Structure 1
Amino acid sequence: MKSNLLMNFTVDKESSTVNVKREFNAPLSDVWSAWTEAEILDQWWAPAPWKARTKSMEFNEGGRRLYAMVGPEGEEHWAIADFTSITPKTNFKYLDAFCDSEGNLNTEFPRSNWNVNFSEQGDSTFVDIAIKHKNLEDLEQIIAMGFKEGFTIAMEGLDKIFEERTK
C-alpha cells in the first residue's frame, strides 16, 4: 500500500545536505518516542526485510546509540549515533557513522550530521530532517548506496506501527 502521507526528499549539492520532510499520522509524543526509544526504533529503523537491533542506547547529550542492521541472512552492518543536542519533543541532533560491533568507527565511510525536527499540525506530526555531509563526494556515496530507497521503506515501516496502534 502506497502512503499518501507527505514525503519530500531533496538533495542540496551546494551544501552537501539531504533534506527529508515526512508526515506521520500520529501525535507528536508517539512520533518522538518512535525516534528516540530503542525498543520502537528497532521495529522500523532498518528497511524491511532488514531489522535493526540496538546493543546500547543512552538518549542524552553526549550519549550514543550502538546498533546493527541485520539482514535476512543474518549479516550485520553496525552503526552509531552520537547525540550532540536534545530539545525534548522538538529537536535532536547526532553524528551518524558506520562502525564495528564495539562502536569503533569505520573510516572508509563518511560520517553525517543529522538534525531532526518535530512539529505537530492538526492530526499529523511532521519530521524535518537535514543530513549534512562533509562534502559532495560523501553525499553521493551514501545516495549510491541506496539511502533514499532504504529510508523510504523504513518510513513506511514506521507508518505500519502507527496504523496498528489506531486499530
Structure 2
Amino acid sequence: MPVTAVTSDPEALTMTLVGEFAAPVDRLWRAFTEPAQLERFWGPPGYPSTFREFDFAPGGRASYVMTSPKGERFGGVWEVVQIDDGSSFTVLDSFADEHGVVNADMPTGRMVFTFEATDAGSRLTSVSHYPSVEALEQVVAMGAVEGSTLAMNQLDTVLQGLREYAQGKGTRTEILTDTHVRITRLIDGPRELVWRAHTEPELMKQWLLGPDGWRMSVCEIDPAVGGRYRYAWEPLEGTEGEPFGFDGETLVSEAPRRSVTTEHMTGTDFPSTTNDLSLYEEDGATLTTTLIEYPDKETRDMVLATGMTDGMEASYARLERELISA
C-alpha cells in the first residue's frame, strides 16, 4: 500500500500522512491539481468526491461533495493559500454542506502538501495543522486517520494508465477491511456501453451468467433511486446446481458513473450487502470497481469462499466477447 505512515501530534497540533509512489513527481502533482484526477481518490472507498468548482490559484477556491453508498452528501471546501508549482501547495480545508457553505462549527485545517522525488518515484507528505488539541482530537475521532489512509491507497490506480494497471490481470478481489472488499475489472470498451450492460435487462441476460451452463431466468430492474430489482439464475440441462437469485434496491444512481444497490439472496434470511459500482473510462477502456460492504467478517469470508471472483471473471469475459467485440 502506498501510505507508509499517518501520525497525529497533540503538541504540534498536526496530523501527518506520508506516502511513497512508483511514479514521477510531476505525475503525482497532476493527480492532486486536476479535478478529474482528484475525484478518483479524494475520499475513502464508498465516498467518492465530485468537484463542483476548482480554481487552483492563490486566493482560489475548490468545493466538493462526497456521496456515501446510502446517498448521504458531505461537503468540503479548499481555500488555496500558496502554491510552489510542482513541489508544494497549501490550502485551508473546511467542512461544508453540499452547497459549499462552510460549517463554522467544525474545525478548519491548514493542509500543506509537499512532493519530492525518490529513487523509486516520489513521496507525498501531507501535514494538517489545527488550531487546538480539541480540533485535532475531533477530526481524529471522526476517522480522519483511517479515511485518509484508505483514500490515498487508491492512488496507484490513478497514477498508472488503466491499461497498464489492469490489462491482462482479469477480475481482482482486494480485502480492504473486515467488512469491505473491492473488485476491479478492466473492460475493453466504452463506459456508456458498460453502463447499459449493467442496467438494461436485454443486455444483462447476454453476459451476467457466471460459469458456462447457466441461464438468467429473471431480470427485472428499475435503476432509478428507490427502484427495485430481481435477478434469478438456473442451470441448463446437464449442469449441476440449484436455482438461486438476488433482489434489492437502488440507493444511488449517477449514470453512467456510479450505481449503489443493496443485494439480498432471495428466499433466505441472509443479511444484505451494499454493492457500490463505479465506472471510469480512459483511452477507450472502462475500469469497473465494485466496493462491497458486508455486515461482518464472517459473511465476507463465506461469500468469498463460494468462488465469487471466478464467476465474475467468467461474466466479464462474456461481456467483452458478446457485447463489446460483437
What is the TM-score when the length of structure 1 is the normalising length? 0.93
Identity of aligned residues (%): 29
Deviations 1:33-59 (A, max 9, x none): 111110000011010011100000000
Deviations 1:66-97 (A, max 9, x none): 00011112211010000000011100000000
The partner residue of 1:42 within 39, 42, 57 is 39
Q: How many residues end up aligned between the 2 structures? A: 164
- RMSD, matched Cα: 1.3
Partner of 2:146: 149
Partner of 1:126: 123
The partner residue of 2:21 within 14, 24, 42 is 24
Partner SS for 1:9:
strand
What is the TM-score when the length of structure 2 is the normalising length? 0.49
**Structure possessing the higher relative contact order (Cα contacts under 8 Å, 6 or more residues apart):** 1
- Give the AA of the match of 2:133: L
Matches within 5 A, 1:64-103: 64-103=61-100
The 2-side partners of 1:35 and 1:22 are apart by 13
Moved over 4 A (4+): none
Q: Indicate how the Cα distance of structure 1 residues 44 and 64 shifts in structure 2: closer, same or farther if over 3 A, else same.
A: same
Deviations 1:4-39 (A, max 9, x none): x45111111111101111111111111001111100
96-105 or 137-146, which deviates more: 96-105
- Give the AA of the match of 1:70: T
- Largest Rg, 1 or 2: 2
Instruction: Structure 2: give runs of 5+ residues left out of the alignment.
Output: 166-326
1:149 to partner: Cα distance: 0.6
1:146 to partner: Cα distance: 0.4
The 1-side partners of 2:101 and 2:152 are apart by 27
1:163 to partner: Cα distance: 4.2
Partner of 1:137: 134
Instruction: Structure 1: give runs of 5+ residues left out of the alignment.
Output: none
- Contact 2:43 / 2:66 at 8 angstroms: preserved in 1? yes
Matches within 5 A, 1:6-17: 7-17=4-14
